[in-house]
Amino acid sequence: MHHFAEMTGPNGSGDQLAALERWTREALALTGDAVVFVNDRGCTDPGCPIWEATISVLEPGRTRTWRLVHPRGVFTKILVRQAVLAAPAIEA
């Protein structure tokens, strides 16, 4: 089942970001030691629906980052799961 999160702000803040963090934790089965950061950035062109989310997972000795670029409001639990289970864009 798809789970859509409501966007509470013009840049995708609020419920959408909290859902991305929660879905990342669930997909990766993260422990309490892991820190998940979710940042968002909207397209600067007038009327542009594109929204970029950067998800970073910080664990002892390991940091992974993914970038998801999609129209605002279409991030789903399945989409996030597929992204974070694939190879990260950046790993240190």
pLDDT band at 8 (very low <50, low <70, confident <90, very high): very low
pLDDT of residue 10: 46
Domain annotation covers residue 80: yes
Q: How many domains does the chain have?
A: 1
| Cα–Cα distance, 6 to 51 (Å, whole number) | 14
To the nearest whole number, what is the mean pLDDT of the chain?
81
Domain annotation covers residue 6: no
Domain annotation covers residue 9: no
pLDDT of residue 5: 40
Domain annotation covers residue 78: yes
Query: Which residue matches tokens 């995708």?
Result: 12
Query: Which residue matches tokens 């240190």?
Result: 92
pLDDT of residue 76: 87
Domain annotation covers residue 33: yes
Neighbour count for residue 52 (Cβ, 10 Å)? 14
CATH number at residue 67: 3.30.160
pLDDT in tens, 23-42: 999 999 998 899 999 888 87
Residue 69 lies in domain: 15-91
Domain annotation covers residue 75: yes
| Cα–Cα distance, 59 to 1 (Å, whole number) | 29
21 SS3 class: helix
Domain annotation covers residue 2: no
pTM (whole model) above 0.95: no
